[in-house]
Amino acid sequence: MVCIFCIRLISCILDRMFRPSISRIPLLDQILFGFVLFSVLWRGGKGLESVWILVGVAGILTIHSFIIERGQIEDGRERKLSLVVWGSVIAFIGWTALSYYFSSTANYGLDEVLRDGALVLIFLWTMRRAMGTDAEMFIQRFAMTITMATILAIAFGVLVYAMQPVNRFVGTFFDYRFHTDYWPNAWAQYLLLAWPMMLLLMKGKTGRTMLAGYGILGITFGALLLSYSRGAMIALGGQIFLLGIWHGFPYKSLRVGSRTIFSISMICLVAFGMFLSVNILRGNYHPVQSVTEKITFTADEGGSSVSERAQFWHQSMELIQQKPLYGWGPYSFRFIHQRLQTGVLQTSDHPHNLFLKLAVERGVPAAIFFLLLLFYILFPVGKLLVADSWLLGNVQQPSISPSEWPTNRAGNYQLFFCIAVLGVLAHNLIDYNLQFVGIALPFWMMLGMLAVMRAERIDKTVILNKKCIQILELIITAILLLIALYEGMYLITSSVGRHAEARGDSVRALRWYDRSTGEYFSRDMHVSLALLATKNGDTDRAKEAITTYLGLNAQDPRGWRLQGDIARQNGDANTAMVAYQKAYDLGRWNDLSITLALAETLSGKDHKDLEKLRPEIDILLNAFADGITRNAHFIALSHNAEDAIALAGLLAAAFPKDAPRYEVLAAKMDYAMRMERTKVRSRPAGYLW
């Protein structure tokens, strides 16, 4: 209700500029657009609550379409649904569900199945909605909602950027509870999707309205510059290039009119003014990121963002070859790629490429279904637009003109949707941010509107049986709603347990975790249960919990590490060593406490076994020491720094001849750790929280 109120309030303000005819919005549109606004403004839709609400919204839309509309169109025309489009999205979500069924990391990934299932249902609903007689109004309202969400997010983002320690503009794409959860690249990707919608609203406007639009567009580009996202700037350049081709200048003269020069100059002036003024404001509270250092890869992350992406892509190809059919399971990359790492903390939740993520986690068929959908929708639209562009020497009016409305209802807007979708796809070739509902939901809705434009220009569109289609979609909706309802109850109980654990109330936490043992989407609940039981001395209960966890996810080194700790506590050194060795093989580059525990176990048995492993441990320890000295990935602020110092001390005691070398290494790491932590403590705290 708050989001709906915000839409009405802000629309009254913006109506003076754009007048998009926003009065008397249908209830379903209000629900959908209200949720779009919520998903952008509340952490970019990153939280689980956004996924569960998304499933509810998709259920409302689909059930209403089935019960109330009964498959009929207001103007009496028969719906055209392409077999390729409908079949591709249904096959995509079906294969995603199969991948989760065969998942190697089953404690994670259910939220991705629910999210993408709901997005597919909303995609299909958007297609049908965009075939109605008021399709133009629906598109205008959609563009207005994105514009309003962007303006509000930028306004709040200025406060966060100026007064909080994070040195890149993130808009509303952050979680205030954790100091590491700021997502500037996701924010930049959202702006790649948003700015074409602002151009759509400016279409045909003149005078002060056009000037106001230029100002808003300039502020948006300024917010994009403040994100310091190099990949997004490359994608933006591609979008502007395509806009120039499709909506560009006459082929022969290539002359630029004075109005065009004025428009571009004003937008650039506002963008750079925004960039400079907001950085000056931030400079009063916190240091400002150097543009030169960012461009030349001499900032804190150096060139790691490039080199590590190349590693993730190479690892993805290797993992695809191992399980090409169903993949390793949704959200499995963060676990399965660790054993292929070659550097300290060079890990990620995804391969930084949309199509590689789909192929690795859900299997090659899922990636093919998604590619088929994109190609089938975008290729004819792009071909049509290029045919009308100056690139081929055509200077006549576009093939779809306003006079053709409503025969080609969405035709006026295909350019803007196409540029937005292609910009997001381009950025997802070097990153992945479609886990944010605030990005994924508008993206799939735009695809749905483009699919309508595609269908309306094809003479031989396969008309599917509407009853069978709607029944199947209703079955999918019912399954998603039932799963969301069932798992939602456990999400609440396990959340109560996590809060009790954070307060140190282990008895209450264990009680709530016991009530949550029936959930499929358990995430780290069994690990937490095992940890608490171990601390309370209940090793049998801890052993049962960790066995359950490893049965769901044997790719997580944390589970094996904990199993080793439990065995050690019981005096079973052999079982502990086997578990530690498994954890070491999977996660030695991310958690040095595993190596420390393994070395302690080996040193307690026979130094010969430790001697055999020492060359490998030395390589690992030196790599961690180098990372701590440079504070790569903020490692000096993590427990790995203490573990590295302790490991060096253990080796110095076990091998006295080399003790001076280990002691010097430990002293160097200790000094770097203390220096970095002193810097953090001396930094100004956030002024908002």
Q: CA–CA separation, 451 vs 445, rounded Å?
A: 10
> What pLDDT is attached to residue 461?
47
Query: How high is the mean pLDDT of the chain?
Result: 86
pLDDT tens digits for range 283-325: 998 889 887 766 665 565 555 678 899 999 999 999 999 999 9
> What is the distance of C-alpha 162 from the center of its chain?
24
Residue 427's pLDDT band, with cuts at 50, 70 and 90, is very high
Residues whose CB falls within 8 Å of the CB of residue 635, separated by 6 or more in sequence, listed in order: 344, 345, 624, 627, 628, 641
Question: Are 559 and 594 spatial neighbours (Cβ–Cβ below 8 Å)?
Answer: no
Going by C-alpha positions, the residue among 345, 287, 339, 293 that lies closest to residue 636 is 345
Spatial contact of 480 and 158, defined as CB atoms under 8 Å apart: no
According to the model, what pLDDT value does residue 525 have?
A: 94
Low-confidence winner among 72-81, 225-234, 352-361, 575-584 (lowest mean pLDDT): 72-81
Model confidence pLDDT, tens digit, residues 357-377: 999 999 999 999 999 999 999
Q: How far apart are CA 670 and CA 672, in angstroms?
A: 6
Single-letter amino acid code for the residue at 317: M
Per-residue pLDDT reduced to its tens digit, 428-466: 999 999 999 999 999 999 999 998 866 555 444 444 556
Return the pLDDT at 156: 96
Are 99 and 465 in contact by the 8 Å Cβ rule? The answer is no
Instruction: Delimit the CATH 1.25.40.10 region(s) of the chain.
Output: 524-583
Q: Output the CA–CA distances (angstroms, integers) from residue 314 to 320, 341, 608, in the order listed.
A: 10, 11, 36
Locate 296 and state its tokens.
């030349």
Q: Where does residue 506 rank: exposed (0-12), middle (13-18), buried (19+ CB within 10 A)? A: middle
In three state form, how does the secondary structure of 90-135 look? HHHHHHHHHHHHCCCECCCCHHHHHHHHHHHHHHHHHHHHCCCCCH
Instruction: Please report, as a single letter, which amino acid is at residue 164.
Output: Q
pLDDT in tens, 145-163: 999 999 999 999 999 999 9
Contact of 546 with 527, CB cutoff 8 Å: yes
Instruction: Look at 119-128, 457-466, 625-634 and tell me which has the smallest mean pLDDT.
Output: 457-466
What does the alpha-carbon distance between residue 224 and residue 241 come to, in Å, rounded to a whole number? Answer: 17
Q: State how far the Cα of 638 lies from the Cα of 435, in Å rounded to an integer.
A: 26
395 or 61, higher pLDDT: 61
What was the pLDDT predicted at 685?
79
CATH number for domain 524-583, candidates 1.10.150.120, 3.90.1150.10, 3.50.50.60, 1.25.40.10? 1.25.40.10
As a whole number of angstroms, the distance between CA 663 and CA 666 comes to 5
Cα–Cα distance for residue pair 362/325, rounded to 1 Å? 8
In whole angstroms, what is the distance from residue 471 CA to residue 139 CA? Answer: 27
Q: pLDDT of 595-612, one tens digit each?
A: 999 999 988 766 788 999
* Identity at 84, one-letter amino acid code: V
pLDDT score, position 286: 86
Residues 6+ apart with CB under 8 A from 504: none
Query: What pLDDT sits at residue 465?
Result: 55
Q: What is the pLDDT of residue 69?
A: 59
Bridge partners of residue 501, in order along the sequence: none
Please give the DSSP secondary-structure letter assigned to residue 365: H
pLDDT grade for 549, boundaries at 50, 70 and 90: very high
Instruction: Express as a percent the part of the chain with pLDDT over 70.
Output: 84
Determine the pLDDT at residue 73.
42
Can you read off the two tokens belonging to residue 195? 């700015």
